[in-house]
Structure 1
Amino acid sequence: MTLECLRSVTAETTEAFEIIVVDNCSDDGSAEAISEHFPDVKLLAEKQNHGFAKGNNIAASKARGDYLLLLNPDTIVLDAAIDNLVNYADRHPEARIWGGRTLFADGSLNPTSCWREISLWTIFCRTSGLTGVFPESDLFNPEAYGGWMRDTERQVEIVSGCFFLIRRDDWNALGGFDLTFFMYAEEADLCMRARRTLGATPRITPEATIVHYGGASETVRADRVVRVLRAKSELMKRHFPYLKRNLAIWLHKVFPLTRYLVGRLQVRGIRGEAADVWKEVWQRRGEWSNGFTEHSR
């Protein structure tokens, strides 16, 4: 999958660029294959898995370009998407962070290219089930911009780290990703800091479209959900006003329980399997409800 991504980058990008790949101690021969098929790529074959945040920080420290593009390995660049994104950034420098449109392999929309900031309202909608009942509603599914097909250009609050463009000077001014976030929500934290300290107004454009398969690096769903919920707990601890924080964390904590109880009411099969996942996540709430206990930059 990484080789396919690299082929698409080189085939669809005409502007001057360099590719830096951090191999997080993979054991499937990825580093050797990249070195063989792409000798011009700057390959950093690490001896340990640093996670998404530190891996990108390491790569960024080696970069020489004016722009940094973070690109997941489970992506395919389509129709000069990187060139188009950089050109878009040049036309909208005030945004300071830019992203594009992401699709699944079958061409359907993958809506995870951008998000709104997590808020007390988004947590309430998710925990109460309103988001699931009205997924196309921008009111009841606000975090995911419900109903917007990402087919128009607009300002957003958070650009996903899977396809994330920022000027190198701004990245350095922000100190890159906060290493507390091993994986998930690091780009949310960065965008929130950029908006508050740099006045950033991140933007999405459909001119830059890629395929993002999503979830390829984690195959155990319960483990993935635990990581996501832990990262969101940390976002609340860091960015929520004090008076809202405790209520938000409580609502967030009971979210897996409500999902499990609803899942138990469904017919057996796929729904039943989902209920089992949410039951495990609820049982493991001690792992994620308090965010990250050790902080480091």
Structure 2
Amino acid sequence: MDVSILVVNYNTCRLTLDCLQSVYASKTQYRYEVIVIDNHSSDGSVEAIRAAYPEIRLIANEDNTGFAKANNQGMEVASGRYILLLNSDTLVQPDTLDTMIQFMDTHPEMGASGCKVILPDGSLDKACKRGFPTPSASFYYAFGWSKRYPDNPKYNQYQLGHLSPDDEYPVDVLVGAFMLVRRETIEQVGGLDETFFMYGEDIDWCYRIKQAGWGIYYYPRTYIVHIKGGSARRRPLKIIYEFHRAMWVFHRKHYKQQYSWITNMAVYAGIAVKFGMAFLKNKLSAPVKPDSDEQSRTEVKA
């Protein structure tokens, strides 16, 4: 098996079926398997997916295990020499699998790669090519310096906005919506850290991959569409909490020992302030259901 495609589903039945249809429409010379991990959906996803694609290996969890753990479940039964993390709210192109596997086959030093990711309006999903969230990179991003000086590398360390999305180059971080990872790399560094229930697990994985000496590459010779409905309206508190908790977990795990206590306290204070601002903004906004990306990852049951 060349590639095992892992799709985590949580109450995104229609989106998941569309995603799977795009996968099976691929024009590829490679052998692939699809593994769907359902996190106890209540929208009839399991029955619908089994009926439409009986050949798929479907793991039906009895509770919502989280995004990281669900993907790890898929990796445990996967047989491909590559593992592809693919969000349920994405659409791959007919050439995506061939283009990305060919790249990895000809670049054995690469532990992981990602393609260009665009939103339904044609704009770039900026999470598809990032730098690590160091204290300075996080500061410039969180407080708007990267937007103020979009062409300055110093202020764009996180989203790499100064680099063209149409060029290819090594990066620090890919997005978990589409990440092609070599099996040997996973055997060396392990799977996703389940401390991250949602958000941050892709950054942590990329950090460990690079620490182990593997390369990570952004390769925009093909693309996928990421159908996430970003909105400034009200979101469940759990989503806001997990987003900011992931920042804290990542810094404590990887950067705490590298920086002084003053810097660490400043980082933690910054996360707290940002969380407070997000919470207040959310309270003053109109309610909205979680977007498709959040539904595929989110909400621990109380």
For 1:140, the equivalent position in structure 2 comes to 155
For 1:11, the equivalent position in structure 2 comes to 25
Aligned residue for 1:35, secondary structure, equals helix
Query: Does 1:276 pair with 2:291?
Result: no
CA contact (8 A) 1:111 1:149 kept: no
Aligned residue for 1:143, secondary structure, equals coil
For 1:190, the equivalent position in structure 2 comes to 205
Structure 1 residue 175: Cα displacement: 1.8
1:104-183 matched pairs, under 5 angstroms:
104-135=119-150, 137-183=152-198
Aligned residue for 1:57, secondary structure, equals helix
1:187-266 matched pairs, under 5 angstroms:
187-197=202-212, 199-214=213-228, 220=235, 222-242=237-257, 244=259, 246=261, 247-254=263-270, 257=273
Stretch deviating more after TM superposition (125-134 or 26-35)? 125-134
Q: 1:279 to 1:260 in 2, by over 3 A?
A: farther
Gapped regions of structure 2 (runs ≥ 5): 1-14, 286-302
* Aligned mates of 1:135, 1:89 — CA distance in 2: 31
For 1:41, the equivalent position in structure 2 comes to 56
Amino acid across the alignment from 2:270: V
Q: Residue by residue, what CA displacement relative to the aligned partner does 1:80-110 show, whole Å, maximum 9, x if unpaired?
A: 1122111111121111111110000122211
* Aligned mates of 2:39, 2:86 — CA distance in 1: 15
TM-score, structure 2 as length reference: 0.80
Identical aligned pairs, as a percentage?
32
CA contact (8 A) 2:72 2:191 kept: yes
Amino acid across the alignment from 1:12: S
* Aligned mates of 2:41, 2:16 — CA distance in 1: 12
Q: Residue by residue, what CA displacement relative to the aligned partner does 1:221-241 show, whole Å, maximum 9, x if unpaired?
A: 654332121111111111115
CA contact (8 A) 1:96 1:167 kept: yes
CA contact (8 A) 2:113 2:180 kept: yes
Q: Residue by residue, what CA displacement relative to the aligned partner does 1:187-229 show, whole Å, maximum 9, x if unpaired?
A: 21111111112x011001111300012368xx82654332121
CA contact (8 A) 1:222 1:278 kept: no
* Aligned mates of 2:53, 2:248 — CA distance in 1: 39
Aligned residue for 2:154, secondary structure, equals coil
* Aligned mates of 1:112, 1:69 — CA distance in 2: 17
* Aligned mates of 1:260, 1:228 — CA distance in 2: 12
CA contact (8 A) 1:259 1:278 kept: no
TM-score, structure 1 as length reference: 0.81
Q: Residue by residue, what CA displacement relative to the aligned partner does 1:147-174 show, whole Å, maximum 9, x if unpaired?
A: 3342111100011111111112321222
* Aligned mates of 1:278, 1:93 — CA distance in 2: 49
Equivalent pairs counted in the alignment come to: 266
Q: 1:176 to 1:3 in 2, by over 3 A?
A: same
Stretch deviating more after TM superposition (54-63 or 177-186)? 177-186
Structure 1 residue 136: Cα displacement: 5.2
For 1:70, the equivalent position in structure 2 comes to 85
Gapped regions of structure 1 (runs ≥ 5): 262-272, 281-297
Out of 30, 55, 62, the residue aligned to residue 45 of structure 2 is: 30
Q: Residue by residue, what CA displacement relative to the aligned partner does 1:239-267 show, whole Å, maximum 9, x if unpaired?
A: 11535264245235335646977xxxxxx
Amino acid across the alignment from 1:277: N
Q: 1:53 to 1:274 in 2, by over 3 A?
A: closer
Q: Residue by residue, what CA displacement relative to the aligned partner does 1:116-156 show, whole Å, maximum 9, x if unpaired?
A: 11112112213443234335543213201113342111100
CA contact (8 A) 1:103 1:210 kept: yes
